[in-house]
Amino acid sequence: MRREFAFIIGSDVLKRVVCIIQTRIGSTRLPGKVLMKVQDKTVVEHVVNRIRKIKNIDDIVLATTTLERDDLVVNEANRLGVKYYRGSEADVLSRYYYSAKAFNADVVVRVTSDCPLIDSGISKNIVDFYLSNIREYDYVSNTIERTYPRGLDTEVFSFQALERAFNEAYSERDREHVTPYIWDNPQIFKLYHYKNEEDYSMLRWTLDTKEDLQLINEIYNFMYREKKYEFDMRDIINLYDSHKELKDINKNIEQKKI
């Protein structure tokens, strides 16, 4: 897809923006979660549909593993009409790097497949901010200094930053979680923390447990009943205001530490 407007950088080259969605069947707490159905669509299908609304993204890639069970992810990529790349299960940093290289990414947008409530408007703003300030920053995200609900996570960074992390990061943590080497080294990389005016970081809209799945289903059910098929963060916040019981569904779930 082409863009509403061009970002001309340096030598008049339009940067190629690729969204890489890490996707696998294996999950410690909720196996197979990415292919579970919410309103007759798989979780990863909701993610892809929301990312497709971002006009400044040129390609969407499901980055999965070489394990046989992740043939299901390849089938889903083909069904949804998006690209895929297969790499290491444990070394997700290498999987991201080779995915980005295979699809000629100049700029990488990182989201995960367990965020079916991701807000395309917020993600677009983060991508636009990065592209408009590409000379100033190597990495922009709303994840390090959190003000957005967990589950709207969007990271944008240069291929050069990803390549340097790939070549220099050695710890198991850095290889498994892709970007910690970048945001742990502000003396090397120029970082920007994209923040909301109000702090909603206490809200959990990602999918790791059956309680999370219950909440996500409840949100979709409410919205679809009102025929709000393209709802966003503000719509969900308004829903919380009128249905305060929603906050209790997964309030005791703790996020895994990175």
Flag whether 140 is in a domain: yes
The 10 Å Cβ neighbour count of residue 121 is 14
Flag whether 40 is in a domain: yes
Residues 157, 100 share a domain: yes
Residues 99, 166 share a domain: yes
What is the token pair recorded at 4? 């509403």
| Digit-coded pLDDT (tens) for 153-163 | 999 999 999 99
Flag whether 199 is in a domain: no
Cα-based distances in Å from 223 to 24, 114, 240: 28, 19, 12
Query: Quick one: the chain helix, strand, coil %, rounded to 5?
Result: 40, 15, 45
| Digit-coded pLDDT (tens) for 211-253 | 999 999 999 999 999 999 999 999 999 999 999 999 999 988 8
Residues 61, 147 share a domain: yes
Number of domains in the chain: 2
Residues 227, 183 share a domain: no
Report the pLDDT value the prediction gives residue 238, as an integer from 0 to 100.
Answer: 97
Flag whether 70 is in a domain: yes
| Digit-coded pLDDT (tens) for 71-130 | 999 999 999 999 999 999 999 999 999 999 999 999 999 999 999 999 999 999 999 999
Flag whether 128 is in a domain: yes
Report the pLDDT value the prediction gives residue 71, as an integer from 0 to 100.
Answer: 98
44: CATH: 3.90.550.10
Report the pLDDT value the prediction gives residue 252, as an integer from 0 to 100.
Answer: 85
Report the pLDDT value the prediction gives residue 258, as an integer from 0 to 100.
Answer: 61
Residues 173, 128 share a domain: yes
pLDDT exceeds cutoff 50 at 5: no
Instruction: Return the axis-axis angle of helices 92-102 and 159-168, rounded to nearest 10°.
Output: 140
- Top pLDDT among 2 and 239 is at 239
- Top pLDDT among 77 and 6 is at 77
Query: 234: which residues sit within 8 A by CB, 6+ positions away?
Result: none
Flag whether 255 is in a domain: no
- Top pLDDT among 28 and 104 is at 104
Cα-based distances in Å from 101 to 71, 92, 234: 22, 14, 36
Report the pLDDT value the prediction gives residue 254, as an integer from 0 to 100.
Answer: 78
Report the pLDDT value the prediction gives residue 210, as an integer from 0 to 100.
Answer: 95
Residues 171, 99 share a domain: yes
141: containing domain: 9-193
